[in-house]
Homo-oligomer: A and B are copies of this chain.
Amino acid sequence: MQSNKPRLPHLKDLTTDNITDNVNTVNALNHDNARFRYVLERLVTHLHDFSRETRLSTKEWMVGLQFLTTAGQVGINGPSEFHLLSSILGLSLLVDAMDHPKPATATEGTLLGPFHTDDAEHLQNGALISQDTAGEPLLVVCAIKDTSGKPISGVDVDIWETDSTGHYDVQYANRSGPDGRCVMTSDAEGKFWFKGIVPVSYPIPHDGPVGQLLKSLGRHPWRPAHMHFTFEKAGWDKLVTALFMRGDQYETSDVVFGVKDSLIVNLEEITDKSVDPETGDSLSSRYGVSSGTKLLRYDFVLVSEEQSLSLRNDQSREALERLGRKVRVVDGLPVPDVDSSRE
């Protein structure tokens, strides 16, 4: 009978010292995807090392399982608690930084957050993206360039922000359609502009287990005021970023660790005398906004897919070398070279 299962290891009498190798062996037996095998092997190893290093007790382990179980049962209509957990533990920012590394000359990225949707309307330049009349009017005028300063046209820009109470449209149970969000395309000069409202700071949802964790740690749940952007065009590395309003009281304590100095902006105020620096046109007549409207200007700099891939590969190789493993690239992602990963 045993001869029918020639590849099975002998999974008996496992101890704190040999269980990790055995679990990794059985997980790798019948799976052909080297990348999946590698990710799972590191996951199991870190999970076991975590419990070995903490000498995790049965009681603590049960508290952890209960935390995950409760987390799974809330947030079904809002962002997943697991997404929030990933954000407040810094994992979301870390993953973005690795997946989209930027050279110093490009606009920095930051985490996507859980409030992006795929149903935003495609609007024309100049459109109003927020129907919230209680918000403070804001004109946003941006350009998209490459690292040599050349404009990039035809970039799809996804934009989303909260309403004036600090809630995204998806947080309302009676949401009838997208609001406070849109997709635009940069024009021939790489420009896009729209009207929205001045972003406000807001707490992430904190009525579930993640909120309880923050509370028990004495951490506040607030994000500083910001507006989200993503940029996509074939041949260019996708940029996931956000702009932060300078002076926010949470600027240096963002609950999800997303603020970068280069992404903090000063808002201007449009007066009758404000002119476009390039054309000399009056801003209020050029963009159809009244005097007193706040203005956000920003130039985004994209890097090519090729340049980003090369940077990602270099960083991957370096990270795996630090682990003492020679690297192979499978589907664009690193896995250890089989010959050198077995000790």
The interface residues of chain B lying within 8 Å CB-to-CB of A51 are 91, 94-95, 98
**Contact call A80/B54, Cβ cutoff below 8 A:** no
The interface residues of chain B lying within 8 Å CB-to-CB of A53 are 42, 319-320, 323
A90 beta carbon closer than 8 Å to chain B: yes
A87-107 interface with B by 8 A CB criterion: 89-100
**Contact call A20/B90, Cβ cutoff below 8 A:** yes
Contact of A19 among B30, B81, B93 (CB under 8 A): B93
Q: How large is the interface on A (under 10, 10 to 19, 20 to 34, 35 or more residues)?
A: 35 or more
A253-285 interface with B by 8 A CB criterion: 253-254, 257, 259-261
Bound complex: CA A241 to CA B96 (Å): 44
**Contact call B31/A257, Cβ cutoff below 8 A:** no
Bound complex: CA A83 to CA B70 (Å): 12
Question: Would you call the interface of chain A mostly helix, strand, loop, or mixed?
Answer: helix
A76 beta carbon closer than 8 Å to chain B: yes
A340 beta carbon closer than 8 Å to chain B: no
Question: What is the total number of copies of this protein in its complex?
Answer: 2
A26-69 interface with B by 8 A CB criterion: 26-27, 29-31, 36, 38-40, 42-44, 46-58, 60-61, 65, 68-69
A322 → B minimal CB distance (Å): 8
The interface residues of chain B lying within 8 Å CB-to-CB of A65 are 80, 82-83, 86
A sample of 17 inter-chain contacts (CB < 8 A) reads A11-B259, A12-B254, A12-B260, A13-B260, A15-B97, A20-B90, A22-B90, A27-B219, A29-B217, A42-B53, A51-B91, A51-B94, A51-B95, A53-B319, A54-B334, A68-B72, A71-B72
Q: A44-B90, A68-B71 are in contact. List 17 more A-B contacts (CB 8 A).
A: A11-B252, A11-B259, A12-B254, A12-B260, A13-B259, A14-B90, A19-B93, A29-B219, A31-B216, A31-B217, A31-B218, A38-B54, A46-B47, A55-B320, A57-B98, A61-B92, A65-B82
